[in-house]
Amino acid sequence: MTKETFTFQAEVSKLLDIVAHALYSQKEIFIRELISNASDACDKLRYESLTNPGLTGGSGAYQITLTTNKKAKTLTVSDNGIGMNRDDLVETLGTIARSGTQAFMDTLTQAKAAKDKKKNGANTSDIDLIGQFGVGFYSSFMVAERVEVVTRKADEEAAWLWISDGTGEFTIDETTRDQHGTDVTVYLKKEDKEFLEPQRIKHIVKTYSDHIGIPIILAGVKKDEEDQTLNQASALWTREKRDISDEDYKEFYHHVGQMWDEPWLTLHNRIEGVISYTNLLFIPSSRPFDLFNPERKAHLKLYVKRVYITDNCDELLPGYMRFVRGVVDSEDIPLNISREMLQHNPALEKIKKALTKRVFNELKKKAEKTPDEYAKFWDNFGAVMKEGLYEDFNNRDMLLELARFRSTTQEGLISLKDYVERMPDGQDAIFYIAGEDAEAIAQSPQLEGFKAKGIEVLLLTDPVDEFWIPSIGTFEEKTFKSATRGGADLSAIGKNKSNSDAKSEDGATSDGGPDNAKVEPLIAAFKVALGDKVKDVRASERLTDSPVCLVADDGDMDMNIERLLKQHNQLSDSTPRVLEINADHALITKLAKKAKAAEGIDAAVEEAAFLLLDQARIVEGEPIADPLAFSRRMAAVMEKGLGT
Ligand code: ADP
Ligand code: MG
């Protein structure tokens, strides 16, 4: 076969352009990335050879070798791992194979768009992002004039030479290699020859790759010079806790979790018992980019007796803990288990139960001891944890205890227990309002009455809230009740409290409830005018300042759910809503008088009905049905208001 030339996928070219011109201060991380790939390649082969022992062909122990050549200015990272064939090469070293790199590109595009918008405001530079995402193999082009990859796949005869200078094209040609594995040779740019210095290399490996479980060897250069092993070459999680520094943990977390932040929580335990295993788990301090991908992929690596089995084992923690990174290494799972057989393995089920409990307990401790730190965790992952409320019946109580919320009367985050403890006499429901933005929903007219009476309302802004609330129903026997639904009987609440916030006798929101008789004729007129555009028209108990608002009738779909479903094109029809009117509002009082005086239909009252309904929709953030008619009516009212 002759040499073939390929062009990089457009995204890769873009990435390479950024990488090559980045004045990134930590160029050294390319060594970490190449070692990480070499280590992955050895892990893969180790796994494959469990079922196919012939694969390794007696190649001996796994190792990663670094070789320098000062004259040629090359640094080579070699491994005796799985290797790549021609198709693998085309697929992985010409496209953006890894999701982290894709996320980097997406973020870059977004950051750029934001920058264009703000002109001089952007503070995330491309450079920071390289560090944040780690761009894998392509990071070698930060220091390389040219990269050559010689590789041979285990169990195949042919070897391949991949060459690129990182500017748009790469070539693949047939070559030879003694055994399976890969050599990545980086031809260093003149200004980057520091990466040929043994001291520099040793320091880099020690800093970033000490946790790698197989030996990383620096080959002697001169004849009498010995090879040196640069790392401890024992899997980090097998070491004693006291021998592991925070830095070691962090670098391991970066490697295993493909995350670039500080771990928020590190859980390292060795369990000896009926089922023996070691877990080294991390909770990130920032949100991973793929948190809300529909696949809900786990990011836990499963090892059996130090042999890597799989890197997204779903059977170790429930889906709502998918933000947890790390490894679990078990002694009690058969080594020859296939990935497919993991699903109903009783040992794994036991481990899952224990790990879930361990994570819960640690979270509980954090919530009690360091609520501010816990609040950061909840801001990042609360929306995910809440999925457990309808998925995991057995852990509901724990999840309800751990859940935190914003509310109308408190700063920061509160628990349901806090809320219930603060409930005044006469309140038997946990009130909430759901929507996209906490600040916006806190201003909703439906909350006016609650505010006036000092009744706390939870502000729910995660789409998942619409799922768990109906499935949970109650907390400590108090029903969850939407502030935008059904009749809101606030009159009984706080009656017995000495410092009651309830309005005094002359107010319509006093204990007697609104004075409905005054507005009966208006309600009748509105009903006639609006017809089936509304489900009903009622006097409101929840309004104090606004003239009208919309609420969902009991039994009807919640307004926020309807909005969510429409956003996702799951719903096209709208449910007619109840228009509530504020009998105390000056405008309503005037309209009520007019309606009472009118014999039959009053044109001004009819126009007002339409305008007020549209107004209520606008406040809800909903489109108005007929914008033209709305502006015609609005203009007419303004004209009238100006007099002659
Ligand atoms: P990632 O390691 O996150 O997948 P990289 O950009 O570092 O992303 O590598 C891309 C892919 O190239 C790897 O997933 C792997 O398939 C392949 N690869 C890179 N280096 C090696 C190697 N030394 N041996 C085998 N495959 C490799
Ligand atoms: Mg990699």
Taking the CA of 36 as reference, the closest ligand is 2
* Consecutive H or E run containing 440: helix 438-442
- Of 30-34, 50-54, 156-160, minimum mean pLDDT range: 50-54
Residue to mutate, 16, 34, 37, ligand 1, most ligand atoms under 8 Å from C-beta: 37
Q: Is 186 a member of any domain?
A: yes
CA of 35 from ligand 2 middle (Å) equals: 8
The finding on whether 81 has its CB within 6 A of some atom of ligand 1 is: yes
β-strands 216-218, 228-229 pairing:
antiparallel
> Which residue has tokens 């809503």?
577
CA of 319 from ligand 2 middle (Å) equals: 25
Please report which confidence band the pLDDT of residue 281 belongs to, taking 50, 70 and 90 as the band edges.
very high
Task: Please tell me whether residues 466 and 592 are part of one structural domain.
Answer: yes
Residue to mutate, 45, 65, 92, ligand 1, most ligand atoms under 8 Å from C-beta: 92
Taking the CA of 184 as reference, the closest ligand is 1
Taking the CA of 39 as reference, the closest ligand is 1
Q: Is the pLDDT of residue 536 over 90?
A: yes
Q: Is 501 a member of any domain?
A: no
CATH number at residue 220: 3.30.565.10
Average pLDDT of every residue of the chain: 88
pLDDT reported for residue 279: 98
pLDDT reported for residue 112: 67
The finding on whether 162 has its CB within 6 A of some atom of ligand 1 is: no
The finding on whether 79 has its CB within 6 A of some atom of ligand 1 is: yes
**Higher per-residue confidence, 573 vs 465:** 465
Task: Please tell me whether residues 424 and 362 are part of one structural domain.
Answer: no
How far is C-alpha 387 from the chain's CA centre?
13
Q: Is the pLDDT of residue 97 over 70?
A: no
Task: Please tell me whether residues 98 and 217 are part of one structural domain.
Answer: yes
Q: Is 383 a member of any domain?
A: no
Q: Is the pLDDT of residue 419 over 90?
A: yes
Q: Is 387 a member of any domain?
A: no
Q: What's the CA gap between 36 and 214, in Å, rounded?
A: 11
Q: What's the CA gap between 249 and 255, in Å, rounded?
A: 10
Task: Please tell me whether residues 435 and 572 are part of one structural domain.
Answer: yes
Task: Please tell me whether residues 221 and 250 are part of one structural domain.
Answer: no
Nearest residue by C-alpha to atom 10 in ligand 1: 92
The finding on whether 37 has its CB within 6 A of some atom of ligand 1 is: yes
User: Which stretches does DSSP call E strand in 436-552?
Assistant: 458-460, 474-475, 478-482, 534-539, 548-551
Percentage of the chain beyond pLDDT 90 is: 63
DSSP 167: S
Q: Is the pLDDT of residue 504 over 50?
A: no
pLDDT reported for residue 550: 94
Rounded to an integer, the average pLDDT of 603-623 is 93
Task: Please tell me whether residues 444 and 572 are part of one structural domain.
Answer: yes
pLDDT reported for residue 616: 94
Q: Which residues contact 203 (CB under 8 A, 6 or more apart)?
A: none
Nearest residue by C-alpha to atom 15 in ligand 1: 92
Taking the CA of 77 as reference, the closest ligand is 1
Please report which confidence band the pLDDT of residue 626 belongs to, taking 50, 70 and 90 as the band edges.
very high
Q: How many CA atoms lie within 13 A of 366 on its CB side?
A: 21
Nearest residue by C-alpha to atom 5 in ligand 1: 136
> Atom of ligand 1 at shortest distance to CA of 138?
6
Task: Please tell me whether residues 218 and 263 are part of one structural domain.
Answer: no
Q: What's the CA gap between 201 and 35, in Å, rounded?
A: 12
**Higher per-residue confidence, 146 vs 491:** 146
Q: Is the pLDDT of residue 421 over 90?
A: yes
Q: Which residues contact 343 (CB under 8 A, 6 or more apart)?
A: 315
Task: Please tell me whether residues 262 and 141 are part of one structural domain.
Answer: no
CA of 57 from ligand 2 middle (Å) equals: 25
pTM of the model: 0.81
Please, what sign has the CA dihedral across residues 297, 267, 282, 205? negative
**Higher per-residue confidence, 625 vs 74:** 74
Nearest residue by C-alpha to atom 23 in ligand 1: 38
Q: What's the CA gap between 81 and 408, in Å, rounded?
A: 58
Rounded to an integer, the average pLDDT of 250-255 is 92
Quick one: which of 86, 238, 74 has its CA closest to 147? 74
- Select from 190, 205, 232 the last residue of a domain: 232
Q: Is the pLDDT of residue 458 over 80?
A: yes
Q: Is 270 a member of any domain?
A: yes
Please report which confidence band the pLDDT of residue 221 belongs to, taking 50, 70 and 90 as the band edges.
confident
The finding on whether 43 has its CB within 6 A of some atom of ligand 1 is: no
The finding on whether 102 has its CB within 6 A of some atom of ligand 1 is: no
* Consecutive H or E run containing 595: helix 586-597
Nearest residue by C-alpha to atom 21 in ligand 1: 37
CA of 219 from ligand 1 middle (Å) equals: 23
Q: Is 619 a member of any domain?
A: yes
Taking the CA of 85 as reference, the closest ligand is 1
Please report which confidence band the pLDDT of residue 498 belongs to, taking 50, 70 and 90 as the band edges.
very low
CB 131 within 8 A of CB 159: no
CATH number at residue 629: 1.20.120.790
Please report which confidence band the pLDDT of residue 203 belongs to, taking 50, 70 and 90 as the band edges.
very high
CA of 409 from ligand 2 middle (Å) equals: 48
> Which residue has tokens 């360091």?
370
Q: Which residues contact 341 (CB under 8 A, 6 or more apart)?
A: none
The finding on whether 587 has its CB within 6 A of some atom of ligand 1 is: no
**Higher per-residue confidence, 413 vs 566:** 413
Task: Please tell me whether residues 483 and 543 are part of one structural domain.
Answer: yes
Please report which confidence band the pLDDT of residue 501 belongs to, taking 50, 70 and 90 as the band edges.
very low
The finding on whether 97 has its CB within 6 A of some atom of ligand 1 is: yes
Q: Please, is 293 exposed, middle or buried when counting C-beta atoms within 10 Å of its C-beta (0-12, 13-18, 19+)?
A: exposed
> Atom of ligand 1 at shortest distance to CA of 135?
6
CA of 162 from ligand 1 middle (Å) equals: 13
Q: Is 386 a member of any domain?
A: no
CB 612 within 8 A of CB 525: no
Q: Is the pLDDT of residue 121 over 80?
A: no
Q: What's the CA gap between 404 and 382, in Å, rounded?
A: 8
The finding on whether 41 has its CB within 6 A of some atom of ligand 1 is: yes
Task: Please tell me whether residues 202 and 325 are part of one structural domain.
Answer: no
Rounded to an integer, the average pLDDT of 83-90 is 95
Taking the CA of 99 as reference, the closest ligand is 1
- Select from 378, 393, 422 the last residue of a domain: 378
CA of 139 from ligand 2 middle (Å) equals: 10
Q: Is the pLDDT of residue 327 over 50?
A: yes
Please report which confidence band the pLDDT of residue 59 belongs to, taking 50, 70 and 90 as the band edges.
low
Quick one: which of 150, 235, 138, 219 has its CA closest to 185? 150
CA of 36 from ligand 2 middle (Å) equals: 6
Residue to mutate, 19, 130, 137, ligand 1, most ligand atoms under 8 Å from C-beta: 137
Q: Is the pLDDT of residue 357 over 90?
A: yes
The finding on whether 141 has its CB within 6 A of some atom of ligand 1 is: no
CATH number at residue 317: 3.30.230.80
Rounded to an integer, the average pLDDT of 24-33 is 85
* Residue 485: both structure tokens together: 């639904």
pLDDT reported for residue 451: 92
Please state the domain count of the chain. Answer: 3
Please report which confidence band the pLDDT of residue 533 belongs to, taking 50, 70 and 90 as the band edges.
very high
Quick one: which of 186, 145, 140, 185 has its CA closest to 167? 145
Quick one: which of 275, 284, 371 has its CA closest to 322? 284
Task: Please tell me whether residues 374 and 448 are part of one structural domain.
Answer: no
Q: List the domain range (segments joined by +) for residue 448.
A: 405-496+511-642
Task: Please tell me whether residues 421 and 450 are part of one structural domain.
Answer: yes
pLDDT reported for residue 601: 78
Q: What's the CA gap between 327 and 402, in Å, rounded?
A: 25
Exposed e or buried b per residue across 73-92, where buried means at least 16 C-beta atoms within 10 angstroms of its C-beta: bbbbbbbbbbbbbbeebbeb
CA of 38 from ligand 2 middle (Å) equals: 8
CA of 34 from ligand 1 middle (Å) equals: 8
pLDDT reported for residue 468: 94
Nearest residue by C-alpha to atom 11 in ligand 1: 92
Nearest residue by C-alpha to atom 12 in ligand 1: 92
Nearest residue by C-alpha to atom 17 in ligand 1: 92
**Higher per-residue confidence, 18 vs 337:** 18
The finding on whether 183 has its CB within 6 A of some atom of ligand 1 is: no
Q: Is 397 a member of any domain?
A: no
pLDDT reported for residue 117: 60
The finding on whether 137 has its CB within 6 A of some atom of ligand 1 is: yes
Percentage of the chain beyond pLDDT 70 is: 91
